[in-house]
Chain A
């Protein structure tokens, strides 16, 4: 006689990391967003190789004065957030929250430096093809940083209000993973905007 039975064996619910489904969804997001930046960089290269004699048209590669500290801040924030995530997993809530807050500040500083660099530029969005692709490429990345920041701030608020506890590993993992992704993308954007004109 067939009947419903409960076994001794147990299976995880939702699952952490790769065992759950959201991690794979995030991977799909990275695939499609990553390729978006690939198309942006392709457009940069296409406009640069088909149009002007010099690229950037001014003939001078963009300055590294703000870009280098911004890069260090952004890459550093990834390590800080990874540390926060690992402390949270071990139950060290206070340290984790502090590290998360520091990570958020570092990300915000990156945004501030980027905006400063934008306002220092002698050209605007509508000046020429270089200015257009420059602002749209860095701007698309900056928008991703902003979304990441909002996610991290929400995470911190949820943690402080007790809505996220030790059992919500998935939320922490995904937010941190997204931040790492935005970081890696920046390295490609940085190489495109700042390094490639110096190689030519």
Chain B
């Protein structure tokens, strides 16, 4: 069967150049190539794969809880087991799935979309992946022992203090989140510098795809937000292990300090796990509507504005804690205001569908459903921004419904659509559309069946985080419906993974641009060569592949000629704002260091957990040695080099 797009890639890849670049960029054979890979595409796919694995684990935890809650007075799980399950479910989905899955997409797509050959710091990129994996394993190490974190994903003190939670459970949480925070920070810094420097000439700020705006905003936010939770976890670990009094009230500690620090991090984080996903919708939905996104500038600015306001709403998670009225009013107002930038994207998407010529593809179905689910989740969010309502609804299933509509609605549904959209680029093959429609139907029906009734449960007064309920409370029938919906939803996701697997085995060849997309990733073959672009493109518009189609009368983007950079593993860095060629970067090759560093951190954190100074000291020493090797000066100090071009 012929490929969906039979044309050769628009970005040329002449054989003699391909050979030179392949030699410079190709990975080492064997173990070193596998553990030492610094290719952003390999790392991106690893991120996606691992995050999906955590999605399955977190999903199974949810299903076990749903079995327990299907009927009243159930005894499948003990309260302790239930506590660990909902805590690990939250931690897994929020920390180990929701952001890493988006990092996976961004890692894979950024250099391709920006017209570069790699991220700014390839070894740091590998490091952020290995740290994510190591921290994920660390958080799960105590799960089989029945000592997993059990204080909920926001782990409030004093419930999580050593007095009320003896045992290692909460210590695993504290150290695990600090561990994971390093991964997030390293990854975010890499995205920020990549955005500023690693773009094709001409890729100026006003031409960036929206997913780049989304991930950049999320990354800057992470740099500013993650230290808050790492610090809170450090304080709590000190309180629990060294007898300090940060939260411990007897020595002047303040339990509410935990909530402040946690939500100063937590709320920006919520936006960090939806803004890149909204960016994916903003970039991919217009392709299936065959027109550019309506209101590009507004959407880009709204993305940034959402995050800025997002730093000023953390107190709305604490309305019921007795904070002063003035603060309540301010944060309530800010929480209402944030609806405005969020709504801009929604209206832009609707206008894009309305004025475009939509193809009803599987990605289109998923992206459209994002709009609906986001509106439902958004409206229930605005409702709880109101103090009077929040006092009634907080800690009930209404909140559970709200946060799942927002997170699954904007994150998972967007991600699923994005997999259907970009899978052809990553694998070179299409996913089956017919099966995809079944996946969509099951996921959409299952999701709404599972979560819409939760609103009602909340309004009827069912508190969240209870391991069971009595038979005469009127919750039974609705809970059974919720459980049926959850299994339907899970079945849809199982079918989705089957769809991926079948696509890899027997999917139709895609060709470079099967969806006729406008952005640079569609200019190279599918899957792309390891160096992405043999000739670095010269970008002249926001839609380099659509210039003729949309009648762009300005200058045309150039693919057939441009920077070649074939003297070793080289790429180009540009000036931050205008995208003028600035400097040639010699990129590092495969390296053991990132993997070794994440392995070295295991005994460091493990030693802290087990109170083994020796183990921790060994880990710290190994970390130090690896870092020194990392920054070891390279022998070649040539200052400049003649520019090689093609064309």
Contact = CB atoms under 8 A, between A and B. Distances in A.
Nearest to B264: A39
A126 B644 contact: no
25 contacts: A4-B17, A4-B566, A6-B642, A6-B643, A6-B645, A9-B643, A10-B642, A11-B572, A12-B640, A13-B585, A15-B573, A19-B582, A21-B193, A25-B190, A32-B224, A35-B223, A36-B230, A42-B260, A46-B257, A50-B256, A125-B243, A129-B245, A129-B252, A154-B628, A171-B631
B257 A47 contact: yes
Interface stretch (A85-93, A110-118, A161-169, A189-197): A161-169
B252 to A, nearest CB: 4
Interface in B609-647: 624, 628, 631-633, 637-647
Interface string B208-244: 0000000000001001101110110011001000111
Contact of A150 (B230, B251, B624, B646): B624
Nearest to B632: A163
Contacts of A51: 252-254
B561 interface: yes
A143 to B, nearest CB: 11
Contact of A10 (B242, B243, B641): B641
B251 A128 contact: yes
Contacts of B572: 11
A5 B564 CA distance: 9
B519 interface: no
A46 B254 contact: yes
A36 B586 CA distance: 33
Interface of B: 12, 14, 16-17, 120-121, 124, 185, 188-190, 192-193, 196-198, 220, 223-224, 226-228, 230-231, 234-235, 238, 242-246, 251-254, 256-257, 260-261, 264, 560-561, 564, 566, 572-573, 576, 581-586, 624, 628, 631-633, 637-647
If over half of B's interface residues share one DSSP class (helix, strand or loop), that class is named, otherwise mixed; here it is mixed
Given A3-B646, A10-B642, 9 more contacts: A11-B640, A25-B120, A31-B223, A35-B227, A40-B231, A43-B231, A43-B246, A132-B246, A164-B633
Nearest to B583: A15
A129 B253 contact: yes
A51 B257 CA distance: 11
A10 B254 contact: no
Contact of A52 (B16, B198, B252): B252
A8 B188 CA distance: 37
A171 B639 contact: no
A38 B187 CA distance: 22
A123 to B, nearest CB: 11
Nearest to B17: A4
A46 B197 CA distance: 39
A13 B188 contact: no
A21 B252 contact: no
A127 interface: yes
B646 A2 contact: yes
Contact of B121 (A10, A25, A50): A25
A36 B227 contact: yes
A188 interface: no
A29 to B, nearest CB: 7
B647 A11 contact: no
Nearest to A46: B257
A132 B230 CA distance: 16
Contacts of A79: none
Contacts of A5: 644-646
